[in-house]
Structure 1
Amino acid sequence: MDKKIGWGLFVGRVILGVIMMAHGFQKLGHMENTVQVFSKLGQPEWLAYVTAVIEAVGGLSLLVGLFVVPSAILLGLTMVGAIVLVKLPAGLIGGFEFPLALLGLSIILAVTGSDKLSVSHLINNKSGLK
Structure 2
Amino acid sequence: MERKNKVAATILRVFLGITFLMHGLSKFQGGIENTVGFFESLGLPGFTAYMVALIELIGGIAVVLGLGTRVISILFVIILAVAIVKVKLAAGFLGNGQMAGYELDLALMAISIYLAITKRSLLALDNVLFRSKKAE
Would you say same fold, with TM above 0.5?
yes
Q: TM-score, normalised by structure 1?
A: 0.91
* Percentage identity across paired residues of the two chains: 38
Q: TM-score, normalised by structure 2?
A: 0.88
Q: Which residue of 2 aligns with 1:63?
A: 64
**Secondary structure in 2 aligned to 1:103?**
helix
Shift of 1:46: 1.2
- Is 2:44 aligned against 1:43? yes
Structure (1/2) with the larger helix percentage: 1
Q: In the aligned structure 1, how far is the partner of 2:59 from the partner of 2:79?
A: 11
Unmatched segments (≥5 aa) in structure 2 = 96-100
RMSD: 1.4
Unmatched segments (≥5 aa) in structure 1 = none
Q: Which residue of 2 aligns with 1:72?
A: 73
**Secondary structure in 1 aligned to 2:122?**
coil
Among 102, 107, 114, the residue aligned to 2:113: 107
Q: Which moved more, 1:68-77 or 1:110-119?
A: 110-119
Q: Deviations over 1:25-70 (max 9, x none)?
A: 2113321111111122221101111111111111111100000100
Query: Structure 1 runs of 4+ off > 6 angstroms?
Result: none
Shift of 1:104: 0.6
Alignment of 1:1-130 (within 5 A): 1-29=1-29, 30-94=31-95, 95-125=101-131, 129=133
Alignment CA distance shift 1:121-1:23 (3 Å): same
Shift of 1:113: 4.1
Q: In the aligned structure 2, how far is the partner of 1:113 from the partner of 1:18?
A: 20
The number of residue pairs the alignment matches comes to 128
